[in-house]
Amino acid sequence: MRWKKMTYTGWGRALSATGEVARPERARDLPTLAKAGPAMGNRRSYGDAPLNDGGRIADLSRLDRILGFDPDTGLLRAEPGVTLGDLARLFAPHGWLPPVMPGTGFATVGGAIAMDVHGKNHHGTGSFGQHVTEIELIGPDGPRRLTPDDPLFAATMGGLGQTGIIASATLALSRREGDIMMVTERRAPDWENHLAVLDGSKASYVVGWIDATATGAALGRGIVEEGETAPGLVPRPRAARSVPLDAPAFALAPPVVKAFNALYYSRVPKAGRTVVRPIESFFFPLDRVHAWNRLYGKRGFHQFQCVVPLSETEALRTMLDRIARSGLASPLAVLKRMGPGRAGPMSFPMEGYTLAVDFPNRDAAVRLIAALEAMTAEAQGRLYLAKDALAGPERIRAMYPEHGAWLDEVQKADPEGIYTTDLVRRLKLREAA
């Protein structure tokens, strides 16, 4: 296997690693790679979850073959580098979709398992790992086939890649009525209204864009989108564009962001509307702009994403107020209601509300995110490790109270710490309490 020394980043581009990277094209190489270091996919995690500075790591994005599909049951077996966007494009015309899709179609099956990702339907469908029926996991001692009744299976779901390298996974696709989306958009003029619409929605897919610059009576205003699959003519999606270079700092200056957010809010009529969209446009709106992370400039960006219990809406409102008054937020801010579904002890979801906001990588933003982390802990919530790049180890154990059970399985699967990544080192997740 050929190794190449390179410097690489997560999607946020604020943190980087330098080390040897291998890009296997055949599954037969995986047993050797499983003795060398951790694995990564398309590096759509924002922070340092896919980084191994100074060490080796296997890029599995070329292992992107579909190994089998049963059209009667919807069970699909795939290699870890298959992207969820490819699965949606291939199977939606035949009435099937990945059961859970995050905000980007470039997420891989292996990455979706490692982070136990969630989507716009978490309130009704749960997390990605809950729909995985079998995995082939290769550790230092060789391959194992795991099913949900094995504790190591649960430790792998949302397990940050610490139990081994995924060689294949069997996933239960969801049957859908068609390959277009009927999307109802409505304005939410303030925080209370926004939560009320999310709470009252009966739609399969629900997400709220929130104006993180609005203050006062308009705090929490935004647009709620409710989506259902439907049969019909597929609208032609717009051709993807690309950001060719790192944007200057003034591109996301507070007056620019505030003006953009006001225009974006006003694009939906007061009475609301229903529109038809291609599936990709609804689930993966940012994928239409390749390399959109360059809009934050060469220093990159951080995303803060937390979830707090249903009883802690006032704490979340206080966080949003602090964000809005800081003048640091970007146009990318999302509010969703989550259900209780999660597949592993280190999985992010809990029943409650999740808020995600992007910030340019500046010193003031780093300080703000530290304050938001403390507020999340006080509200008995947790941070999403797929997005985090800044937290310290002090509060993470309390946020993830099943850490000890996870660590027991990890230590048995990888006693030498071969799969330790920068995130795991930073948060001291391989250390006992």
Q: State the DSSP string of 259-289.
A: HHHHHHHHTS-TT-EEEEEEHHHHH-GGGGE
Nearest to 258 by CA among 189, 333, 198, 186: 333
- The type of residue at 228 is E
Nearest to 161 by CA among 114, 110, 107, 108: 114
Question: Residue 346's beta-bridge partner residues?
Answer: none
Give the CA radius of gyration of the chain.
21
pTM of the model: 0.96
Nearest to 296 by CA among 427, 222, 389, 216: 389
Residue-wise pLDDT tens digits, 9-21: 999 999 999 999 9
**Which CA distances in Å does 12 have to 49, 203, 210, 353, 409?**
11, 31, 20, 23, 30
Q: Which two tokens stand for residue 335?
A: 């509010």
> What is the predicted pLDDT for the residue at 12?
98
> What is the predicted pLDDT for the residue at 249?
82
Task: Decide if 399 contacts 377 (C-beta within 8 A).
Answer: yes
Query: Helix axis angle, 313-326 relative to 363-378, nearest 10°?
Result: 170
* pLDDT < 70 positions in the chain: 234-237
Residue boundaries of the structural domains of the chain: 180-394
**How far apart, in whole angstroms, are the C-alpha atoms of residue 423 and residue 162?**
11
Q: Which residues contact 1 (CB under 8 A, 6 or more apart)?
A: 22, 24, 29, 32, 33
Tell me which CATH code domain 180-394 carries: 3.40.462.10
Q: What is the largest CA-CA distance in the chain?
A: 61
Task: Decide if 368 contacts 360 (C-beta within 8 A).
Answer: no
Where does residue 48 fall: left (phi above 0), alpha (psi -120 to 50 degrees), or beta otherwise? alpha
- With 0-12 CB in 10 A as exposed, 13-18 as middle and 19+ as buried, what is 292? middle
Helix (H) or strand (E) holding 420: none
> What is the predicted pLDDT for the residue at 433?
75
Q: Which residues contact 56 (CB under 8 A, 6 or more apart)?
A: 3, 19, 20, 21, 22, 36, 37
Question: Residue 19's beta-bridge partner residues?
Answer: 6
DSSP secondary structure code for residue 13 in this structure: -
Nearest to 16 by CA among 44, 46, 51: 51
> What is the predicted pLDDT for the residue at 234?
66
Alpha helices (H) along 327-394: 363-378
Question: Residue 137's beta-bridge partner residues?
Answer: 144, 166
Is beta strand 333-338 parallel, antiparallel or unpaired with respect to 352-360? antiparallel
Q: Which residues contact 286 (CB under 8 A, 6 or more apart)?
A: 103, 104, 292, 332
DSSP 54-113: TSEEEE-TT---EEEE-TTT-EEEE-TT-BHHHHHHHHGGGTEE-S---S-TT-BHHHHH
